[in-house]
Amino acid sequence: MTAALEGRAVNKAVFLDYASLDFGDLDPACLYNVLPELELYPHTTSTEIVARLQDAEIAIISDLQLPAEIFSQLPRLKLVLLSATGTNSVDLEAARRHGVTVCNCQGYGTHSVAQHTLALILSLTNHVARYDALVRQGAWAASDRFCLTDFPLTELNGKLLGIVGQGELGSKVAQMAAAFGMQVRFAQLPGRDSSPDKQPLDSLLAVADVVALHCPLTPETTRLINSHRLNLMKRSALLINSARGALIDEQALAEALRRGIIRGAAVDVLSQEPPSPDNPLLASDIPNLLITPHIAWGSTEARQGALFQLAENVSGWLSGAAVRVVS
**Separation between Cα atoms, residue 130 and residue 121, nearest integer Å:** 14
- Closest Cα to residue 293, out of 14, 88, 83, 23? 23
**Separation between Cα atoms, residue 146 and residue 140, nearest integer Å:** 8
Cβ of 111: how many Cβ atoms within 10 Å? 16
Per-residue b/e over 214-234, b at no fewer than 16 CB within 10 Å?
bbebeeebeebbeeebbebbb
294 is catalytic: yes
Q: At what angle do helices 128-136 and 110-126 cross, to 10 degrees?
A: 60
With beta carbons less than 8 A apart as the criterion, state whether 82 and 90 touch.
Answer: yes
- The residue type found at 258 is R
Catalytic, out of 244, 263, 303, 324: 244
250 is catalytic: no
- Closest Cα to residue 159, out of 124, 190, 127? 124
Residue 242 DSSP label? -
**CA-CA-CA-CA torsion sign (155, 157, 160, 163):** positive
DSSP, collapsed to helix, strand or coil, labels residue 40 as strand
With beta carbons less than 8 A apart as the criterion, state whether 48 and 15 touch.
Answer: no
Catalytic, out of 37, 69, 93, 273: 273
DSSP, collapsed to helix, strand or coil, labels residue 289 as strand
244 is catalytic: yes
Q: Any idea which residues carry the catalytic annotation?
A: 244, 273, 294
